[in-house]
Structures are given as structure tokens and as C-alpha cells.
Copies of this chain bind each other. A is one copy, B any other.
């Protein structure tokens, strides 16, 4: 049986619709509004409101640090021709990457050549480039599949020599690096090493984690909006499920590595019962037991109100922010990094580890649920470290809270004052029924939200402008997102600081974590007590591509930037 008309290969009706949506370029990219001809903007210097570069940064980037160091606004540029520009993706996919390429292609036009580098930095080392001629098929689509990506770091002189070889081979005038904090750090070093070849390097801020932000110039990295909208729909659906089936506590781990931006944004959009923010946990220096006791009491307070259900958001990296657990993990990494320990079969590691831990470490280790103890004894990466993503932190909380709920139920008056007979009866009959989820990969390659589609297209236009202008070692951004948008380029050396990693100093872009005095966190903190007891759940629904609901930016961006609403306004 054949089934024409119902579906076809690689072109769902949805993808066809996406490609036809308008791209919302900023007006500054039109050389002439009437003709709709595009031309690169010229970035012009503006006073930089940052600290002067330290001596070690100047020593690390001898060429870049002598460049103009302004926050750069934009004004009309003139068309440029004959340039060869390459672009590659680096690291995990994020929605909108394809539109960066569409923007580059549109701004470079037919009189410059755009190369795509296949499979990320690895492809650049291998000289695996092809000329990009037609971008109509990838317009507004999700994924990084047009080029592919990888996580190779270009750091050795041998690697830089390879890149220099291909830059000369392809006569490249510029390279656009689409990546997160590490990839943009890499872009700075690449810019430094290629400066004598007159090949510029420009970075584009990508990461669903949202931990690459430079207020107010780069309010957020691209991909964050789409990922959080996808997760927020699912969390909203599960929140709706709880008062429908009235029996489950859902523990939802959200991707985002160290930073809790994703958890915070999803919480603002959905108003769940509880949300852990790693940065707050670190700041308060509460032990796991204090956190778990608080959460178990929260669970039981709801039980007394007749709500035997709830939803808890857990940021992926939370474990590293709980002081006693972090301390334990540090000790474990040292003990397990030992070759003697590595040689042990997994079954023999428990006794070995308990014998080598400090008194505090031993207590912390043995107080953990068994399933977590086992996970902590697993094989390590090449640095002897355990990947945080391998630790099921959602399970850590489920198991610990289940145990604590039982303790409290056994002796409730030790934990709550003023319990009525009705409260006691409710506590006694409450059954804690937890379920766990992990939302991560499903948020990286969704079709970009209209916000991410417009943002990335303009980032592509800005990156193309910067690279042909001869700017190097800069990262582009779009600011003023509620009022038409403004293209900027930031010197990467201004974002890089010294950090101790594995016992030596590295120069890296500082990760933007959630700050507790930020408007987004403050807003969350002001509302969460109400969310904990009432059923204030909000359902943000699936991303819409037409109508007013399609023109929204992340709530945390709107709050942190001080915009009056979360409606974005980019372009003409």
C-alpha cells in the first residue's frame, strides 16, 4: 500500500511552514530600507565599562589585548566582496544554529564565499570544508545536522599549525565559531594564533544552559529560549497531571550542567511546587540533610492540605553545590584517582573507599542512599573525575526524601508544632509515591522558537559583519531585545579570567551562574512560598509559531534586563 499526501521524507508540513516564516532582521542591516538590500554593519568603538585587562591576560593575548577594547555599537557599513569565510559548530547542539548560517549567507551575499566546516573543530583540523551555496532548506529549522558538531578543543601548537595550514589552503579571511563559553575561549586563542595570517575569528554565543551572558550586551545565549520552552511545556503538563491523578510526586532533573538558569526559567514559566537553585544552595552552605529535611517537610505540609502530590525541579549539576556532598566528591575523586583504587573491581571499592575517607567524608558517604553510593564508585574519566551527569541527582533526592518522610511520619511532633488531630491523621495515611524524569536531549534540537530564530539570524548577520570588517577575537551579541534590537561585538579578552582547573591556571571565559540578587531570582524567591503550598501551576503550552504567543522571550531575560514585558521586538 502506498500513502502519498500523508507524509514525505524529511519534509514534514511543519518544517515546510517553518521555512516560510519571516526572519526579523534588525533595520541596521538594510543598506536601504526601500530596496531590502542588505549590507554589513560597521562596528564603531564605544567606551568599555569594564576593568582594565590584567597583566597576565595581556601576556596571554599579546596581540588581541592591544586591539581596540570597546563595547561596539553599530552603524551602516559598506558592502565587502571577495572574502572567504568559514563557519563551524562547536559543542552540544542548540536551536537556531542553522539560522546563524542563514544570516551569514545573507550578509555575505553572492560576492563573498561562505564555507561550512563539517563536524566541528575536528573538521577544521582535517580541512573538511565545503562551500555553502543554498541555505533555503535549513531556514528556521532545528538541529546542527547541516554541519554536525563535536567537542574537540584546539589547544596544542600542532593543532594550531593544522588550522593555519587550512586557513592558507582555503585563503580564509575569517572564521565564525558557534559555541559556548569553552568554544568562545577557544575562539580567542584561535584569533591570537591566526592574527599574523590576517584571518579574523568571531564567536557566536550558543548554549542551551544559558551560562554565557554578558549583561546588558548579551542578555542570553541562543538555544536557551527553545530548550526552556520545551521543558516548560512538559513540566506544565506534568504539573497538570498531579491534581488530575492526585498521587504522584514528580522529580524532574533538567539539563544545564553547573548553572541553574534553565531550572529558574522553567520555574518562572510553570510555578512548580519546589525548585532547587544550585547557586542558592552553595551560598547558604546548607548540608544535604538540612535540604532534604526542608523538602520532606514541604511534602508533608502539602499532605496535610490534602495534596498528596507535587513537582520538584532539580538542576542537573546541583550535587556539586551541596557543600558536604561536594566535599565528599572531592575526597572520592582523590581516593578513586589512585591507581590502586582504579584497579579494584567495582564490588571491592566500597570497603576501600570507606577505609580511606575522612571522618566527615565517611559520615556523608554512608548517609547517602545505597544506589547513590554505588554510582559514586563507578569508573572515572581520564582526569579521575566522575561526570556529574552520571549521578542521578533526582534519585538522590527521591531516596533521601522518602527516608526522611518516613522519619517525620514516625514522630511528626518533633518536626512540626501545633499539629491538629486532622493533620496527624493526614500525615499518618500519606503515601509518598515519587516518579523521576530527566529532560535534556529533547530540548537541544527542537525547531527554534520564533525568538531564537530571530535572535540567531541577527547573530549571523552581526557575525558576518564583524568578520568582514576585520574584527577578531570578538563575540557578537544582540541587545535591546524589547525595542528593535541592537547588534554589538564584545572583545573576548574582556570576558576571560584566570581559573584553577586540575591544579593549573587556565584562561577561560567565566561561566555566568545565577546570581541571587538578579531580578529573575528575586522574583522566583518572592513567589515560591505561595507555589509550594497552593496549586499555582501555570501551563505555558507548546511553542507557537504564529500569533502573539510566538513573540515571547524568556521571562528571566525580560526580568534581568528590566523590560516591561516579555514580548520581544526584533527587526523592522
Which residues on A are within 8 Å of B, measured CB to CB?
1-3, 5-7, 9-15, 17-18, 89, 92-93, 119, 141-145, 148-150, 230, 233-234, 236-238, 240-241, 243-246, 248, 250, 268-269, 271, 435, 437-438, 441-447, 519, 522-523, 526, 530, 534-549, 552, 555, 558-559, 564-566
Contacts and interface: CB of A to CB of B under 8 A. Distances in A.
Q: Which of A12, A237, A446, A549 has the most CB of B within 10 A?
A: A237
Q: Which of A14, A443, A534 has the most CB of B within 10 A?
A: A14
Nearest to A443: B237
Given A14-B549, A244-B144, A245-B149, A271 B6 contact: no
B250 A441 contact: yes
A559 B444 CA distance: 32
Given A2-B526, A544-B544, A15 B237 contact: no
A245 B13 contact: no
B7 A269 contact: yes
Contacts of A3: 519, 523, 526, 559
Given A238-B442, A241-B444, A442-B237, A7 B526 contact: no
Contacts of A565: 5-6
A538 B241 contact: no
Given A233-B446, A447-B541, 10 more contacts: A5-B565, A7-B538, A13-B552, A14-B544, A14-B549, A142-B539, A143-B244, A148-B245, A237-B444, A250-B441
A209 to B, nearest CB: 15
A546 B544 CA distance: 9
A166 B289 CA distance: 49
Contacts of A245: 92-93, 144, 148-150
Contact of A539 (B12, B148, B246): B12
A149 B566 CA distance: 36
Q: Which 6 A-B pairs have the closest CB atoms?
A: A14-B541, A542-B542, A144-B244, A143-B240, A240-B445, A145-B243
B9 A271 contact: yes
A329 to B, nearest CB: 23
Given A1-B526, A238-B441, A6 B145 contact: no
A278 to B, nearest CB: 21
Nearest to A558: B6
Given A6-B558, A522-B1, A540-B12, A142 B549 contact: no
A1 B523 contact: yes
Contacts of A546: 544, 546-547
A388 to B, nearest CB: 16
Q: Which of A6, A268, A540, A541 has the most CB of B within 10 A?
A: A541
B566 A6 contact: yes
5 contacts: A7-B269, A141-B539, A143-B243, A238-B445, A435-B441
Given A144-B244, A149-B245, A237 B17 contact: no
A448 to B, nearest CB: 11
B240 A537 contact: no
A88 to B, nearest CB: 13
A12 B446 contact: no
B526 A12 contact: no
B143 A538 contact: no
Contact of A14 (B1, B144, B540): B540
Contacts of A6: 268, 523, 555, 558-559, 565-566
Contact of A93 (B234, B244, B269): B244
A268 B541 CA distance: 24
Contacts of A544: 14, 542, 544-546
A243 B145 CA distance: 5
A515 to B, nearest CB: 14
A270 to B, nearest CB: 9
A240 B145 contact: yes
A10 to B, nearest CB: 6
A441 B9 contact: no
A555 B236 CA distance: 26
Nearest to A556: B6
